[in-house]
Structure 1
Amino acid sequence: MVSLLRLRRSTTILLALTLSVVTFVLLANPLSPVADSAGISLSVQSTGAGPRYPLCSNQTSANVTWPSQSWRAAAESKYGGLLEDKFTIAMSTFHRPRELHRTLTALLAAKIPSLHEIVIIWNNFDEKTPDPFVSQHGVPVRYRKPTRDSLNEKLWPDPEYRTQAILLSDDDVYYRPDDLEFVFQMWRKFGKDRMTGALARCATALPSGDWDYNFCSQKAHQDVYSMVLTNLAFTHIAFLDYYFSDDPAVTKIREYVDEAFNCEDIGLNFVMSMLTGSGPLLVRGSSQYINLDPSGGISRQTGHMQARSKCLNVFAEAFQCMPLVNETGRIEHGVKHNVWYKSVWNRIHG
Structure 2
Amino acid sequence: MSTLVAIRDAALNSGGDYSPAKEKAATRGVFNGRSPLLHRRIKLLLGGFKFKLLICFAFLSIVVWFSSKIGPFMEWNPHPDSSVFSPSRGGFTVLINTWKRNSLLKQSVAHYASCRGADAIHVVWSESDPPSNQLRSYLNDIVLKKSQTAHKPNFKFDLNEEDNLNNRFKPRPDLRTDAIFSVDDDVIVPCRTLEFAFSMWQSAPFTMVGFVPRMHWLDQKTNGMTQYKYGGWWSVWWMGTYSMVLSKAAFFHRKYLELYTNEMPRSIHDYVTKERNCEDIAMSLLVANATNTSPIWVKGKIYEIGASGISSLNGHSVKRNKCLNDFVALYGSMPLVPTNVKAVDARNEWLW
Give me the TM-score of the superposition, normalised by structure 2.
Answer: 0.66
Which of 166, 186, 190 does residue 200 from structure 2 map onto?
A: 186
> Which residue does 2:92 correspond to in 1?
87
2:14 aligns with: none
Quick check: 1:256 aligned with 2:271? yes
Which of 306, 312, 327 is the matching residue for 1:300? 312
Matched, 1:104 2:109: yes
| Distance (whole Å) between structure 1 residues aligned to residue 131 and residue 338 of structure 2 | 43
> 1:326 — aligned with what?
338
Rounded Cα–Cα distance in structure 2 between residues aligned with 1:272 and 1:246:
12
- In 2, are the aligned partners of 1:123 and 1:145 still within 8 Å (CA)? yes
Percent identical among aligned pairs is 28
Contact kept, 8 Å, 1:84 with 1:163, in 2: the verdict is no
Could you say which residue in structure 1 is the equivalent of 2:281? 266
Residue of structure 1 in register with 2:80 after alignment: none
Q: Which structure has the larger Rg over C-alpha atoms?
A: 2
Moved over 6 A (4+): none
Give 1:331 shift.
0.8
**Aligned partners of 2:131, 2:206: CA distance in 1, in Å?**
37
* SS in structure 1 at match of 2:297: strand
Shift of 1:98: 2.1
Note the C-alpha offset of 1:224: 0.6
SS in 2 for 1:187: helix
- State the AA in 2 paired with 1:205: L
Aligned-partner residue type, residue 117 of structure 2 = S
- Cα-to-partner distance string for 1:101-138 (whole Å, 9 max, x where unaligned): 22222222x3x332110001122333535436252331
Instruction: State the secondary structure of the residue aligned to 1:337.
Output: coil
1:148 partner letter: E
- The residue number in structure 1 matching 2:40 is none
How far, CA to CA, are the matches of 1:265 and 1:246 in structure 2? 16
Normalising by structure 1, what TM-score?
A: 0.66
SS of match in other structure, 1:206? strand
Instruction: Classify the secondary structure of the residue corresponding to 2:110.
Output: helix
How many matched pairs? Answer: 247
Partner Cα distance (2:220, 2:230) in 1: 14
Correspondence for 1:176 = 190
Alpha-carbon distance in structure 1 between the residues aligned to 2:247 and 2:122: 15
Aligned: 1:245 with 2:262: yes
Matched with 1:281 is: 296
Q: Deviations over 1:75-120 (max 9, x none)?
A: xxxxxxxx97211001011111222222222222x3x332110001
Q: Please point out which of 158, 172, 196 is paired with 1:144.
A: 158
Q: Give, as a single letter, the amino acid of the residue that structure 1 aligns with 2:196.
A: F
Residue 213 in structure 1 maps to residue 227 in structure 2: no
Residues 94, 122 of structure 2: 8 Å contact kept: yes
Task: Work out the CA distance in 1 between the residues paired with 2:128 and 2:334.
Answer: 36
SS of structure 1 residue aligned to 2:90: strand
The 1:118/1:271 distance shift into structure 2, 3 A limit, reads same
**Aligned mates of 2:292, 2:169 — CA distance in 1:** 21
Whether the 8 Å contact between 2:126 and 2:167 is mirrored in structure 1 is: no
Tell me, which stretches of 5 or more residues in structure 2 are unaligned?
1-87
The question of 1:204 aligning with 2:217 is answered yes
Contact 2:112 2:118 in 1 (8 A): no
SS class of match (1:213): strand
* Higher relative helix content: 2
Gaps of 5+ in 1: 1-82, 340-350
Shift of 1:269: 0.4
Match of 2:173 in 1: 159
Work out the CA distance in 2 between the residues paired with 1:104 and 1:194: 25
Contact 1:193 1:278 in 2 (8 A): no
Whether 2:318 is the aligned partner of 1:315: answer: no
| Residue 228 (1) aligns with residue 234 (2) | no
> One-letter code of the match for 1:298?
I
